[in-house]
Amino acid sequence: MVHLCDDRSTSTVVIEWLRNVCLVGSVDHGKTSLNTCLINGRTKISAACDEDILTGPLYNAGFTALHFKSGVKDSKTKSDVYLGNFIDTSGHVELLHEVTAAMRLVDGALIIVDPTLGFGIHNQKALGIIMRERVKPVLFINKMDKLLASKSKEDIYQILKKTIDEANEIIDTFNSGDDHMKNFSLSPSIGNVAFGSVLHGWAFTLQDMTQHFSKELKLPQDILIEKLWEDNFYDKTNKTWSTNHSENHERTFNAHILNPIMKIYDAAKSLKKKELTQLLETLNIKTHAHSFPMEGEERFNEVLSKWIPASDTIFYMVAHHMPSPCVAQKYRAESLYEGTMRDDVYSAIENCDPSAPLMMYVSKIVPAVEHGNFYAFGRVFSGKISTGQTVNIISSSHMPDVKEEIFECKIQNPSVVHGQNIKPVKEVLAGNICCLFGGNKFLVKAATISTFKNAHCLKKLHFNTPLMMRRSVEPKNPSELPKLNAGLNWLTKTDPFVECQMEESGEQTISGTGQLHLDICIKKLEEEYARIQLKKDKPIVAYRETVTCESRQASTSSPNIKSCMTMQAYPLPDMMVQDIENGSIDLLGDFRAKKAQLSEKYKFDSMDAMNIWTFGPQFNDANILVDITKGIDYIAEIKESCIKGFQWCARQGVLCEEPMRGVGFNICDAKLCTSPNDRRLGQIIPLTRQLVYASFLTGSPRLQEPVYSSEIICNTDLIDNLRQEIKKCRGTIVEEINSHINEIIVVRANIPVTDSLSFKPALFSKSREDIVSQYIFDHWQEIPGNPIEPGTDNIAYNIVSDIRHNKGLQEVLPSTSSYLKLY
């Protein structure tokens, strides 16, 4: 029996009884109510709960730790007290990176969904993240009261089934086929799907219901539960089961689940007190109808919350359908650890071994009330963390095999979450979520903390979206610039994904995933981190530069005329670009595996695949430099210089200094000077840059713009306006889903990010606030037109000259020949 920590609370909890849970759900689907519901439910369970720990400093950070009972006693430990670390996440799809950061800490995700609005874009994307992190999902279908009030039973069933199927579809696509992940799929008959209304405090799983009906139907619970979902029908008169629908047969779900609830609903609503009392008796609900003073729907909800309280149902699901850390880490280890399998670190993580050296991942940093301090939340995967321990902090920008970005320091104040408060403890053991309080200077965004010698890092968080919008800020009062810099420092540390960049022009730019994200960052900057007034520029959308066909071979000589090289540019296959960006090609992993993958999947010449020098501008971006020369003297010696030159170009493309995307460069031929001094960096970098630029320009270059996938929820009468607006913004409607109630329509559309800037205000000005819209990056799209051909109606050209103007570059694009001039 392993205790989590020495003095956690009155009742000690062993690791098998620990659950780390993340709450996921779109805005307005009821996530916050769920959180409150849990806290209230907890209060009901143990009266000795201190009120103050539930309104602690972590209230806004969304961290809560609760002890709860699941109702079933473990036969071995004779205990039924679980400890749950609950993390609430943002419901805005633009803030999905927050979800990504939270997923690293937990083993289970509770997804809450409003079936009337469909599964939703946020939940779709979030589920992808959940599956990638191998976190086990359970589903809570909310707002059942709305459905019951307006739909027929069969309709309700179909809506529910569609929602669950949608979720399963995503789960299946991400499921790697690992044994442990087979039971990840959601099904009411397993019990990992709950239905209810958190706002009104009631919820049930089919398991709950079978307890009530198994006697009546004379079937054991485990058989009955199978029959309560999918196409199972029940003939009331003959008491027979069937899998085919016929007139006498009613769907079992409708008959046994929805029927009683509907009856209560009707009785409560129509004030038939007698009937209600009778019903309650048959259902063995030990309350009296007259103890409910309210009327109508309120009474119905009150009855149900007594009968099937939501918190009990949820706690049961959390306890029984989510893995404990030691179970989860068995299959998560593979996706967590960067090093090879079967080394010591790996097995320590796999076994969640508290006696092994420490491995911990910090993924969320929350500023504390006092300026200058923060709470850094991390998950201890193996070993234990204690005060005074000397550890290595491996920052998230660390590259393997490089010694940089590893810092040694001493741990102070490890704490755990207690309620919504922080409680300092002596040590925190594997499996738990630990909070480091204070101002540890080495923690930026995320980091691996370890005491293993030579441990690889835990995998970095992978964010699916690029940073495609940036805004430059400057202080209203120029002399306050140092304050702004300090503030930006803070922002960089605490936001998991934002990038604050000082341009070479001295501009301070903040790059984020979208307008909302940027707005939040700037607000924090003004009010909390820098506390100065800012001048803000308009948001700028990031573009990418690419080529569309094989270029001419460009060749030129180095500045000292002693070496020359030939280079050719060509577009990379779309699939490959996407796979690199999704992170499904492990670029840092085993060389041979990577190369085999490249040559098989994308028809790369296997020799060429072996000679890929680098990816650029970073090691995980989709541009490559390939050496296809054969038998050239000294070429290995100039590799470093070429890579430097290439990465410089890939970061600042020739069109308008935006990054390149999906471009491959082949070094076709080279003749290098025999004297090492004459082919040093100073000669090779200019040479490489000129060749990259020249060959890029001859490969019919194009500009790519980011496109949002957006979800707009509005009233049906606004749909015509909406369609027009979308069309105006060069958008295309992908899907229109008629919601099941309230005359609401959900529209899914692809809108270029550039135009979405004007789209949003247009929306609100026309129809005020009856429209909810969410945006998330979807893909890159080519802008029609050749950006190097001047022309007033050439969109691409205009965009390029605009950007060049803004960046203070020469407005006329340099010609190919200017790069190929011979010295």
Partner 1 sequence: MTSAFDNSGEAVIERTIGSNSKYSSYNLELNFELESCVKWILDGQFKKVGLQFPDELLTAAPAVARALTSKLGFHVYILGDTTYGSCCVDEVAAEHVGADSVIHYGRACLSPSRRLPVLYIFTQIAVDEDAVIEGLCRTIDDLNTNLIFTYDAQCFYIADKVANRLREKFPRLIISELIIPSYERKVNKSFINDSSLEDGKNCNGENGSIDNASSVSEKEGYFAFNGRKVKLPENTTLQEYQFIYMGPESLTLTCLSMRFSQQVFYHVNPVDGKVQSITGVKSVMNRSAKLELAKDSEIIGILVGTLGVADYRNIINRIKTIIKSVGKKSYTFVVGKPNEPKLANIPEVDVFVYVSCPETSIVERQTDPALYRKLITPWELEVALLGDQEWSLNFETDFRQLLLGGSRHVEMSEKYKTEETANVSLLTNKTQMLGLRNDTDMDARLSNASGTMVLADGSNMSLIHVGGGGEALKGKSWQGLDPSLPAPVNLGTVVEGFKGIAAGYDRET
Question: Where along the sequence are the contacts to partner 1 (CB under 8 A)?
Answer: 395, 397, 404-405, 407, 441-442, 444, 474, 478-479, 481-482, 485, 488-489, 492-493, 499-508, 559-560, 636-637, 639-640, 644, 676, 680-683, 685-686, 808
* CA pair distance 189, 201, nearest whole angstrom: 22
Contact criterion met (CB below 8 Å) for 252 and 228: yes
End-to-end CA distance of the chain: 76
Q: Which is nearer to partner 1, 235 or 499 (CB)?
A: 499
In the complex, the smallest distance separating the C-beta of residue 813 from partner 1, rounded to whole angstroms, is: 15
The CA-CA-CA angle for residues 322, 328, 330, to 5°, reads 155
Q: Which is nearer to partner 1, 499 or 526 (CB)?
A: 499
In the complex, the smallest distance separating the C-beta of residue 426 from partner 1, rounded to whole angstroms, is: 26
Of 319, 311, 301, 322, the closest CA to residue 36 belongs to: 311
In the complex, the smallest distance separating the C-beta of residue 628 from partner 1, rounded to whole angstroms, is: 20
Q: Which is nearer to partner 1, 166 or 474 (CB)?
A: 474
Ordered DSSP codes for 774-809: EEEEEEEEEPSS-TTS--TT-HHHHHHHHHHHHTT-
Q: Which is nearer to partner 1, 492 or 578 (CB)?
A: 492
In the complex, the smallest distance separating the C-beta of residue 101 from partner 1, rounded to whole angstroms, is: 16
Contact criterion met (CB below 8 Å) for 811 and 804: yes
Q: Which is nearer to partner 1, 504 or 735 (CB)?
A: 504
In Å, how far are 44, 708, 714, 731 from 638, measured between CA atoms?
A: 71, 41, 59, 47
* CA pair distance 183, 177, nearest whole angstrom: 10
Contact criterion met (CB below 8 Å) for 555 and 669: yes
In the complex, the smallest distance separating the C-beta of residue 484 from partner 1, rounded to whole angstroms, is: 10
Q: Which is nearer to partner 1, 744 or 809 (CB)?
A: 809
Can you count the helices (H) and strands (E) in the chain? 25, 35
Of 540, 473, 532, 534, the closest CA to residue 507 belongs to: 473
In the complex, the smallest distance separating the C-beta of residue 401 from partner 1, rounded to whole angstroms, is: 11
* CA pair distance 48, 550, nearest whole angstrom: 73
Tokens 């690029």, located at residue: 466
Of 752, 638, 621, the closest CA to residue 691 belongs to: 638
In Å, how far are 67, 389, 528, 581 from 730, measured between CA atoms?
A: 52, 57, 38, 25
Contact criterion met (CB below 8 Å) for 615 and 622: yes
In the complex, the smallest distance separating the C-beta of residue 819 from partner 1, rounded to whole angstroms, is: 13
Q: Which is nearer to partner 1, 575 or 681 (CB)?
A: 681
Q: How many CA atoms lie within 13 A of 668 on its CB side?
A: 15
Q: How many CA atoms lie within 13 A of 72 on its CB side?
A: 11
In the complex, the smallest distance separating the C-beta of residue 654 from partner 1, rounded to whole angstroms, is: 13
Q: Which is nearer to partner 1, 554 or 685 (CB)?
A: 685
In the complex, the smallest distance separating the C-beta of residue 500 from partner 1, rounded to whole angstroms, is: 6
Q: Which is nearer to partner 1, 24 or 457 (CB)?
A: 457
Q: Which is nearer to partner 1, 139 or 692 (CB)?
A: 692
Residue 617: asked if its preceding bond is cis (omega within 30°), the reply is yes
Q: Which is nearer to partner 1, 348 or 446 (CB)?
A: 446
Q: Which is nearer to partner 1, 284 or 397 (CB)?
A: 397
In the complex, the smallest distance separating the C-beta of residue 498 from partner 1, rounded to whole angstroms, is: 9
* CA pair distance 350, 125, nearest whole angstrom: 27
Q: Which is nearer to partner 1, 341 or 681 (CB)?
A: 681
The CA-CA-CA angle for residues 122, 87, 29, to 5°, reads 35
In the complex, the smallest distance separating the C-beta of residue 421 from partner 1, rounded to whole angstroms, is: 28
In the complex, the smallest distance separating the C-beta of residue 455 from partner 1, rounded to whole angstroms, is: 19
Contact criterion met (CB below 8 Å) for 377 and 365: yes
* CA pair distance 237, 297, nearest whole angstrom: 31
Distance of CA 293 to the CA centre of its chain: 45
* CA pair distance 493, 487, nearest whole angstrom: 10
Q: Which is nearer to partner 1, 157 or 615 (CB)?
A: 615
Of 347, 297, 353, the closest CA to residue 325 belongs to: 353
In Å, how far are 396, 457, 513, 537, 710 from 540, measured between CA atoms?
A: 27, 34, 12, 8, 19
Tokens 């320590």, located at residue: 348
Pairing of strands 623-627, 663-671: parallel
* CA pair distance 587, 620, nearest whole angstrom: 6
Determine if residue 581 is left, alpha or beta; phi over 0 gives left, psi from -120 to 50 gives alpha, anything else beta: alpha
In the complex, the smallest distance separating the C-beta of residue 60 from partner 1, rounded to whole angstroms, is: 23
Q: Which is nearer to partner 1, 540 or 771 (CB)?
A: 540
Q: Which is nearer to partner 1, 340 or 505 (CB)?
A: 505
In the complex, the smallest distance separating the C-beta of residue 482 from partner 1, rounded to whole angstroms, is: 6
In the complex, the smallest distance separating the C-beta of residue 183 from partner 1, rounded to whole angstroms, is: 40
Of 577, 810, 549, the closest CA to residue 701 belongs to: 549
In the complex, the smallest distance separating the C-beta of residue 174 from partner 1, rounded to whole angstroms, is: 29
Q: Which is nearer to partner 1, 53 or 684 (CB)?
A: 684
In the complex, the smallest distance separating the C-beta of residue 185 from partner 1, rounded to whole angstroms, is: 39
Q: Is 515 in a helix, a strand, or coil?
A: helix
Q: Which is nearer to partner 1, 185 or 560 (CB)?
A: 560
In the complex, the smallest distance separating the C-beta of residue 666 from partner 1, rounded to whole angstroms, is: 21
Beta strands in 469-575 (DSSP E): 469-475, 499-502, 508-512, 534-536, 540-541, 544-547, 554-557, 564-571
